[in-house]
Amino acid sequence: MQEWTGFIAAMRTGGWIMYPLSVLGVLALTIIIERAYVFSRFASAPARLFQPTSADDGRLDKLTPHHAFRRMAAPWLPGSDSPLWLREASAQAIASQIERDMGRGLWLLETIVTAAPLLGLLGTIVGMMKSFQLFGGNGLVDPGGVTGGVAQSLVATAIGLIVAVFALFAFNYFSRRLERLMDELESFANARLSALRLQHEARGKQG
């Protein structure tokens, strides 16, 4: 309870700049939670899917329709008469769409990483200006007001840095997770493509 009271007091000390910083913090937290759910539900797959055969593709039916690997498996389904080059082009288009879907909101996290410390710096400037205005021609007019202005500048800077660091770690994690997903999808597609080429070569030799 005391920690919550102290947090509220710090928010009040920071002044009006705390409102946009709070909005950025809540927005960053929302994006992090939403992206964590998306990656955990739509970006994981059994290791067997990376084998160069399609014998274990039945596992794909257990994945949700919007799962990245189930979407990538669509061009490689057996029974299709489409040429290999058309399947490759379709797979590339699907991969691009998956990358856009999974990376949704990451640009906003990157923006928060830059905007939060700048807003904190703005709060610092406002607080220091408030303190300097209390110095008159005869010296210090209101010592309490000066310390309040300094406290405002320090709180705004601290909150801005906390939000920025929090968003930075999340952005780097999700960016790396997205890169790994795209590598896995590429390996998955290459395995299916290799299997189809072997099948075509075997049919050609039999013919």
Place of tokens 């102290």: 6
The better pLDDT of the pair 150, 171 is held by 171
Residue 47's pLDDT is 60
Residues 72-91 have a mean pLDDT of: 82
The better pLDDT of the pair 45, 169 is held by 169
Q: What is the pLDDT of residues 107-136, one digit of tens each?
A: 999 999 999 999 888 887 777 766 666 555
Residues 85-101 have a mean pLDDT of: 91
pLDDT of 4 above 90: no
Distance (Å, whole) CA 118 – CA 122: 6
Percent over 70 (pLDDT), the chain: 69
Secondary structure of the chain in HEC code, one letter for each residue: CHHHHHHHHHHHHHHHHHHHHHHHHHHHHHHHHHHHHHHHHHCCCCHHHHCCCCCCHHHHHHCCCCCHHHHHHHHHCCCCCCCHHHHHHHHHHHHHHHHHHHCCCHHHHHHHHHHHHHHHHHHHHHHHHHHHCCEECCEECCHHHHHHHHHHHHHHHHHHHHHHHHHHHHHHHHHHHHHHHHHHHHHHHHHHHHHHHHHHHHHHHHC
* pLDDT, the chain, mean: 78
Look at the pTM and tell me if it is higher than 0.85. Answer: no
pLDDT of 44 above 70: yes
Tokens of 12: 């009040």
Q: How many CB atoms lie within 10 A of CB 187?
A: 13
Residue 103's pLDDT is 94
The better pLDDT of the pair 86, 207 is held by 86
Task: Say which range, 26-30, 66-70, 176-180, has the weakest mean pLDDT.
Answer: 66-70
The better pLDDT of the pair 21, 150 is held by 21
Residue 8's pLDDT is 55
The better pLDDT of the pair 40, 81 is held by 40
Could you tell me which of 169, 188, 182 has the C-alpha nearest to residue 101? 182
